[in-house]
Structure 1
């Protein structure tokens, strides 16, 4: 029998101000057969504890212990409710709230084996089989910050919300050189398997940057995009190249993420990077 199941990714976000997070679990609910189950990361999960360097390992363990206890209570409670009330309850459980544990947007997928679906989703979002662009971009930002620290560049790049009259854009690495004169660095990862996802991600940031330039919040010379393209050749590479060509129309600085020297030179005002060459 085919079931329409709801699922949400469980995220661990210990520092709300940085908005950095790591996927640590999955919850799945299938209304038709009243199935509710979850799978969370092991308590000693080095990918998470290594990512949040300043976080004590016992904090992560305690958080997952509490999460597991809560989800077990919820699982038992589900069996006592009817289908309609369970749907409402699942939506309430996974709603956005201020906490170190948050749930991603609810998604719906069809399956004839809910347990197998849970394991596949876990492997995709939490295990080593999948790396989201959001998570990859967090790693890129963290690596650049570490490089700045090791080189002692003398300029402070931090996350900042750049505002205009009509919209706001949050960037992870911004330095205010003088009043209202900003330099910004935004790493972009195009690691998706689908061309539509690559195009959508690129166009999203094309429009955000275009708006900042139009509102004179940033100058083209003062923004750098270190980018990382897909490993595979073919349609995904073609989509990536088209996005790069579109971004280049903004006349901003674009470099390969691996070009540390170019990133440092931009950050320290030593030299504008050479034009990015599409391969």
Structure 2
């Protein structure tokens, strides 16, 4: 059986003057009278975005809206057969309000599983499931390409796969000199929320470079430009620093923080270019 669901995105907007907000939850009402909601429990993504905001303000506001929605679950359950009442209550819940917690315009979807629909919406709008590490690294690649375009360097680099017929690795920026890879640049996203994902991604690239080196297919200079986690994420920072150390221990590999000023990033790139190609 398919259900028609109305949903709205819960947003935290502490400074109405700027209009900036962070999606933190989903509320959903199905046409069988079932009401569900989910709110993010982690505060780091909010406090990282609003870095001057006292985290206690967000936690208090989140707890208050969680209590309000929990009470509504009971109300909806006790009036499950009064669909008109439930729809009007849902509309009242999500109507514009002058508070830090606000709701988006409603959306509609059809689903055979209400619980799965809630999770899918939450993953998309709150956890940004579309923003995979591949998406993040493509963004970093575009940013690096734009940076190189501000200099005379971009036209010297091409996307290439280094290796041989048995094993090769894609690098978005490779500079060739005398038919050899003089420099390979790889933007690396290591800003994951879970330390395990940082270790896994770093270990994968450590293994790739080690294999290329063993086959003597590594670029003379391999430069990783890494996106780090937030400074307030101690466990993630620890994992990031360990991954950076491990990569940098490989001969011919350098690691640079993507947060460094553009001038410094360009300087690090130039440092790995052979003098005869400058």
TM-score by length of 1: 0.51
In structure 1, the gaps of 5 or more residues are 1-110, 273-279
Q: CA separation of 1:268/1:248 partners in 2, compared to 1, >3 Å: closer, same or farther?
A: closer
**Aligned position for 1:120:** 122
Shift of 1:202: 0.3
Does 1:173 find its partner at 2:173? yes
Shift of 1:188: 0.8
Partner Cα distance (2:167, 2:273) in 1: 31
**Aligned position for 1:182:** 182
Which residues of 2 match residues 78-89 of structure 1 at below 5 A? none
Partner Cα distance (2:204, 2:175) in 1: 23
Does 1:228 find its partner at 2:227? yes
Q: CA separation of 1:139/1:162 partners in 2, compared to 1, >3 Å: closer, same or farther?
A: same
Partner Cα distance (2:215, 2:153) in 1: 29
Partner Cα distance (1:136, 1:150) in 2: 22
Judge conservation of contact 2:182–2:221 (CA < 8 Å) in 1.
yes
In structure 2, the gaps of 5 or more residues are 1-112
Partner Cα distance (1:233, 1:271) in 2: 34
Q: Secondary structure of the residue that 1:143 maps to in structure 2?
A: helix
Which residues of 2 match residues 177-256 of structure 1 at below 5 A? 177-219=177-219, 221-231=220-230, 232-251=232-251, 252-256=253-257
Partner Cα distance (2:242, 2:268) in 1: 24
**Aligned position for 1:57:** none
Deviations 1:165-188 (A, max 9, x none): 531101111121221233100011
Q: Which one has a bigger Cα radius of gyration? A: 2
Q: CA separation of 1:124/1:171 partners in 2, compared to 1, >3 Å: closer, same or farther?
A: farther
Q: Secondary structure of the residue that 1:135 maps to in structure 2?
A: helix
Partner Cα distance (1:225, 1:169) in 2: 14
Partner Cα distance (2:125, 2:182) in 1: 40
Judge conservation of contact 2:185–2:224 (CA < 8 Å) in 1.
yes
Judge conservation of contact 1:183–1:218 (CA < 8 Å) in 2.
no
**Aligned position for 2:134:** 134
Report the number of matched residues: 159
Q: Secondary structure of the residue that 2:166 maps to in structure 1?
A: coil
